[in-house]
Chain A
Amino acid sequence: MRPSAVRLLNILVPVKRTVDYAVKIRVNPDQKGVDLNVKHSMNPFDEIAVEEAVRLRERLKDEVKSIKVVTIGPTKAAETLRTALAIGADSAIHIEVPESAPAPEPLGVAKALRAVIEREKEGVDLVIMGKQAIDDDAGQTGQMLAGLMDWAQATFASKLVVDPKKKEAEVTREIDGGLQELKCRLPLVVTTDLRLNEPRYASLPNIMKAKKKPIEKLTPAELGVDLKPILETIKVTEPPKRVGGGKVENVDQLIAKLKEAGITPVKS
Chain B
Amino acid sequence: MVSRLASRHFSRTAVASSDVRPTSLDVFTEEEQMLRESVRRFAEDVVAPKVREMDENEMMDPEIIKALFEQGLMGIETSADHGGSESSFTSAIIVIEELARVDPSVSVMCDVHNTLVNTVIRTHGTQEQKDKWLPLLAQTTLGSFCLSEPASGSDAFALQTRAKKDGDHWILNGTKMWITNSYEADIFLIFANVDPSKGYKGITCFLATKDMGIKIAKKEQKLGIRASSTCSLAFDDLRIPAENIIGGEGKGYKIAIEILNEGRIGIAAQMLGLAQGAFDKAVPYTFQRSQFGKPVGTFQGLAFQQAQAAVELEAARLLTYNAARRKEEGRDFVREAAIAKYAASQVAQRVSGAAIEWTGGIGFTRETGIEKYWRDSKIGAIYEGTSNIQLQTIAKFIQKQYS
Contacts and interface: CB of A to CB of B under 8 A. Distances in A.
Same complex: yes
Interface of A: 41, 79, 82-83, 86, 201-208, 210-211
Interface stretch (B83-91, B290-298, B338-346): B83-91
Contacts of B159: none
A207 B34 contact: yes
Contact of B71 (A41, A82, A204): A204
The binding surface of chain B is classed by DSSP as: helix
B70 A203 contact: yes
Contact of A203 (B30, B71, B91): B71
B73 interface: yes
A202 B38 CA distance: 6
A41 to B, nearest CB: 7
The binding surface of chain A is classed by DSSP as: helix
A204 B37 contact: no
B30 A82 contact: yes
A122 to B, nearest CB: 28
Most buried by B among A41, A202, A206, A211: A202
B125 interface: no
A204 B72 contact: yes
Most buried by B among A79, A83, A207: A207
B85 A204 contact: yes
Contacts of B76: 204
Contacts of B45: 201
Given A201-B71, A204-B91, A86 B80 contact: no
Contacts of A206: 72
B398 to A, nearest CB: 39
A204 B73 contact: yes
Contacts of A205: 72, 80, 84-86
B132 interface: no
B70 A204 contact: no
A208 B86 contact: yes
A202 B87 CA distance: 14
Range of interface residues on B (Cβ < 8 Å):
20 to 34
Contacts of A208: 31, 80, 85-87
Contacts of A207: 31, 34-35, 38, 85, 87
B38 A201 contact: yes
Contact of A86 (B34, B42, B73): B34
Nearest to B74: A204
Interface string B374-402: 00000000000000000000000000000
Contact of A41 (B31, B37, B39, B46): B37
A206 B95 CA distance: 15
A265 to B, nearest CB: 40
A168 to B, nearest CB: 33
Most buried by A among B34, B35, B39, B95: B34
A201 B91 contact: no
Interface string B79-110: 01000111100010001000000000000000
The 3 closest A-B pairs by CB, nearest first: A204-B72, A204-B85, A205-B72
B80 A201 contact: no
A201 B31 contact: no
Nearest to B92: A204
Interface string B22-53: 00000000110111011101100110000000
Contacts of A79: 30, 33-34
A205 B71 CA distance: 8
Contacts of B37: 41, 83
Contacts of A41: 37
A83 B34 CA distance: 7
Given A83-B34, A202-B38, A207-B34, 14 more contacts: A79-B30, A82-B34, A201-B38, A201-B42, A201-B45, A203-B71, A204-B91, A205-B86, A207-B31, A207-B85, A207-B87, A208-B80, A208-B85, A208-B87
